[in-house]
Structure 1
Amino acid sequence: MCGIVGLFLKNPDLEPRLGSLLSTMLETMTGRGPDSAGFAVYGAGGAGVKLTLRGADRASLADAVAHLESRLGRGVEAVARDTHTVIDVPAALEGDVRGFLGAEAPGIDVVSAGRRMEIYKEVGLPAAVAARFDLAGMTGTHGIGHTRMATESAVTTNGAHPFSTGIDECLVHNGSLSNHNDMRRRLEREGLTFATKNDTEVAAGYLSWRMREGASLKQALESSLSDLDGFFTFVVGTETGFAVVRDPIACKPAVMAETDDYVAFGSEYRALVGLPGIASARVFEPEPAKVYAWERH
């Protein structure tokens, strides 16, 4: 089943409220996915590349950061939030940092990379996950979230959404892909690597690959309608953009609301009822096989 929420702010005055609004939307979708939850927030840009790291606890993450600083011979800006820590490293050193973590920091995973994007996800009820990472206190321009009901795989943090396979790119998904194994092998031949067997990670990888080949986000989502087989609703975030697409059958529920201040997505309307100005919003069901996309620069 699963639940998806997304909020893209047009009005900068609402940016301090992004986290609190998204947190309420996420918690409302608990009934659609009580196993685990996650979210991506696009906040202030870092000096270099922001890597979101996940470990067993704060102590193991702090130890990994200390060893990384020793190896680099320089300090690393780090912000700890429960089992995740966001570090800001020069773009030119991203490969070295990933290599060090992979070789010398077992148990530490890189969840995402981006100039503005941070991703947090864990097993547990959505309200508890949001509270652990203080989602309500986060600010930014847009964010997406997901509550998972694990019907096809184990309840694990690695299986939680969002999935990210590119800089400032992430995706959440409700549905199931039937050709994800074939697509994974195809993408691996193109040089992509995957951390899980989850079909959603394949969908994220597909979009990253298409955009690396020169497609826009809208074009990548349009081609996904023919290249990815199954039933799905995708909500996607990029550094400046937010997009939604449903498969041609559109069997998964979806509702959107748009005002002069924001665009919002929910698997159910009740996820949107707490948003400011919702009573006067244009509320609509996104059409099958149609890409809806917004950009903010």
Structure 2
Amino acid sequence: MCGIVGLHLRNPELHPRLGDLLSDMLGEMQDRGADSAGIAIYGDDTWSPPGQGCVSLLETGVDSIGTTAVASEVAEIAGADVGAQLVADTLVLTAPIGSEELLAAARTALPDALVAGFGADLAVLKGVGAPRDLVQSWGLRGASGWQGVGHTRMATESAVTPSGAHPYAVGPEQCLVHNGSFSNHATIRRELRAAGVEFDSENDTEVGARFVAHQLAQGKDVETALKEVCATFDGFYTLLVSNHDSFAVVRDAIACKPAVIAETDDWVAMASEYRALANLPGVENARIWEPEPEVVYAWTR
């Protein structure tokens, strides 16, 4: 049992409220998974300034005093000015260069760090602990943007560590959150490794995220990639996958893991349970439904 939340804002007037709305949504899912949590935010000007690459890192060993030194080291490698901010346990680096170029420089400077996410306009924050406490430590209520995805975890397949927390953001501007388990993840991991894909954890969700990223890197769109997930993976799952401009949901053939979607002219939202959606503005006028098995629901900004 885990909790998924996602919010895709169509109305720009709601962008300043993204963090506040997501904070309440994530908090409602705390009893579905209280050992760790994570959030991916698209479009916050402080965490990921417009026109800059952004990289989110965990397990860096850097404290608030050391951020200036790290920024200088990464800047020297990248050949560009680098900003560094510590958001609880996540080190967020930004620079006026491509995210993958910044990521390469960050990996050179901090080879043992865990990459939580990377991409233009994307910041990914993850941590161990109760989700409501993490929301407060991140200052999530002050965040803005057009899209956010969150997860509360009850660990079943791997250790309770930052590397095991969701979202898994393994491709540029991409992230995936998952409620359920993949029974054939070991086989698919071996196949992906044979194709040159590297892994950071033994978590079954990372296999799903790497599989989707591999499909997208081959030129497939999100809907096609998720149809391939349904054809390839065994197990029980609800998945929410996002990238810079899209938001998609799919469930397995049995659809035993709960999910509900709500849609208005102002926003699209999904969660593991309706109570996470109940306080969204205008929800009383929303179209609300439970996603059908193996049907991909996708929206584009």
TM-score in same-fold range (> 0.5): yes
Percent identity over the alignment is 46
**How many equivalent pairs are there?**
295
Match of 2:160 among 134, 155, 163: 155
Deviation at 1:100, TM superposition (A): 4.8
Number of the residue aligned with 1:17? 17
- Classify 1:159/1:165 alpha carbon distance in 2 versus 1 (closer, same or farther; 3 Å): same
* Aligned pair partner of 1:68 in 74, 77, 87: 74
Distance 1:257 1:40 in 2: 20
Q: Which runs of 5+ in 1 are unaligned?
A: none
1:224 to 2:229 alignment: yes
Which piece of structure 1 moves more, 62-71 or 30-39?
62-71
Q: 1:125 aligns with which of 130, 146, 150?
A: 130
Q: Does 1:198 align with 2:206?
A: no
Paired amino acid for 2:12? P
Displacement, 1:230? 0.9
Match of 1:8 in 2: 8
Change (3 A) 1:9 1:99: closer
Shift of 1:281: 1.0
Contact 2:40 2:175 in 1 (8 A): yes
Secondary structure of the structure 2 residue equivalent to 1:164: coil
- Following TM superposition, by how much is the alpha carbon of 1:133 offset from its aligned partner in structure 2, in angstroms? 1.1
Instruction: Note the alpha carbon deviations across 1:136-188, whole angstroms, 9 max, x for none.
Output: 11111111100001123221111100001110000000000011111112112
Contact 2:212–2:225 (CA<8 Å) still a contact in 1? yes
Separation in 2 of the partners of 1:186 and 1:91? 33
| 2:287 matches 1:282 | yes
Query: CA 1:74 to 1:100, structure 2 compared with 1: closer, same or farther past 3 Å?
Result: closer
2:266 to 258, 261, 265: 261
Are the aligned partners of 2:176 and 2:240 in contact in 1 as well (CA < 8 Å)? yes
1:50 aligns with one of 54, 67, 71: 54
Contact 1:47–1:88 (8 Å) recurs in 2: no
Distance 2:295 2:272 in 1: 17
Using the TM superposition, give the Cα deviation of residue 73 of structure 1 relative to its aligned residue in structure 2, in angstroms.
5.4
Worse-superposed segment, 130-139 or 108-117: 108-117
Judge which range, 108-117 or 35-44, deviates more.
Answer: 108-117
39-48 or 272-281, larger mean C-alpha shift: 39-48
Is 1:58–1:84's contact at 8 Å kept on the other side of the alignment?
Answer: no
Cα shift at 1:61: 4.3
Q: 2: distance between equivalents of 1:294 and 1:71?
A: 38
Work out the CA distance in 2 between the residues paired with 1:75 and 1:215. 34
CA distance, structure 2, for counterparts of residue 254 and residue 192 of structure 1: 30
Structure 2: give runs of 5+ residues left out of the alignment: none
What is the CA-CA distance between 1:9 and the residue it aligns to?
0.8
